[in-house]
A = this chain, B = another copy of it.
Amino acid sequence: MKYSIFGESHGPAIGVVLEGVPPGLALDLDAVRFDLARRAPGKNALSTPRREGDEPRVLSGLFEGRTTGAPLCAVIENTDTRSGDYERTKDLARPGHADYAARMRYQGFNDYRGGGHFSGRLTAPLVFAGGVAKQLLAQKNIYVGAHISTVYGVNDDALEDWESLRACAAKDFPVLSDEKGAEMQQAILEAKNEQDSVGGAIECAVFGLPAGLGEPDFGRNAEGIFSQYLFAVPAVKAVAFGAGTAFALMRGSEANDPLYMDGGVVRAEQNCAGGINGGITNGMPLVFEATLRPTPSIARQQFTVDLAKGENAVLELKGRHDPCVIHRAVPVIEAAAALAACELLGI
């Protein structure tokens, strides 16, 4: 299954084509809409007030409610666009954004309105694709879940099991510990009040993957496959599996998870490896953490350059911006993980 996302924030529509969808899946569009709603802006004070229906229209690959096996295309029209916001500052490269890099890459022809193709809005079709992937995984009793593990240094509780993550999916602010979640939201609102934003991290797990998927080599390595999907999510800057960066503080005797037999199945005591050894799944939950940079659009005055004039400049952004995207990003990370898991399974 390959996905191809298209669209710009202020163009006619955004969407996705999924090639290689297995035929016969009775696609539950309500489940997909549920994830789209989790990602949607405008829910509360933590998010941009932009409101989009985000209703996907399936153009192909679905017949009598089931996937046909032919490419599946879903389109979401853009309706609530206010492009005027962006015209005024179009030559001022927003720090932390891709404006300058994109101008170099696309020779200035990229659609700059609302970030164009770089907009976080493009994660909606990714969530759609991930929704299809999740339903394919569920047929094999494989489940993907995620929670906010950190916001601006405030950490959520440690992940214990699938059920706790399932509960997270129903929350507006998906954390294991609502107490910690309240602290995180406090940090977000403080940043918002100071015309600032915050970064964070999301921990995600795939439960039920069989052992023996992936290979050590380039291109077929389980960690490599997951990371490629994850870094395609805007704002992700770090990806760590299992104990992750803590491995740099550990000894082999700590990191080498003892193995034991559990009713005929080999299991690891701590799952330090995050479900992957040598690029191959080991049957334990596949666990990783993705770190997201703070939203770069902030209302504060910032120093930057005017790309048209080639001069230093001062930027004051207007428009509608999120002080934190981390809670909206949870279903996006799940979507990327679900698509990666499908690739690993050869779906």
Q: Chain A: residues with CB nearer than 8 A to chain B?
A: 2-8, 11-15, 17, 19-20, 23-24, 57-61, 63, 66-73, 75, 93, 95-102, 104-111, 116-118, 122, 150-153, 191, 196-201, 210-221, 223-225, 227-229, 231-232, 234, 236-245, 247-261, 264, 266, 268, 272-274, 276-283, 291-298, 300, 302-305, 307, 310-312, 346
Contact = CB atoms under 8 A, between A and B. Distances in A.
B223 A224 contact: no
Contacts of A278: 97-98, 101-102, 118, 234
A108 B63 CA distance: 11
A346 to B, nearest CB: 8
B238 A231 contact: no
Q: Chain A's interface: helix, strand, loop or mixed, by majority?
A: mixed
24 contacts: A4-B19, A5-B218, A6-B61, A11-B60, A12-B58, A12-B59, A63-B110, A63-B111, A98-B280, A105-B214, A118-B216, A122-B216, A150-B248, A196-B252, A219-B232, A221-B232, A223-B237, A238-B245, A240-B245, A245-B245, A250-B293, A252-B297, A260-B303, A260-B304
B15 A59 contact: yes
Nearest to A242: B237
Contact of A70 (B8, B198, B200, B292): B8
B249 A238 contact: no
Closest 6 CB pairs of A and B: A98-B278, A104-B212, A238-B240, A197-B252, A70-B117, A96-B256
A105 B212 contact: yes
A52 to B, nearest CB: 15
Given A68-B111, A71-B217, A223 B234 contact: no
B247 A238 contact: yes
Given A7-B60, A199-B252, A227-B239, 4 more contacts: A24-B109, A68-B106, A150-B249, A253-B302
Contacts of A196: 251-253
Contact of A96 (B104, B211, B277): B277
Contact of A258 (B11, B95, B152, B215): B95
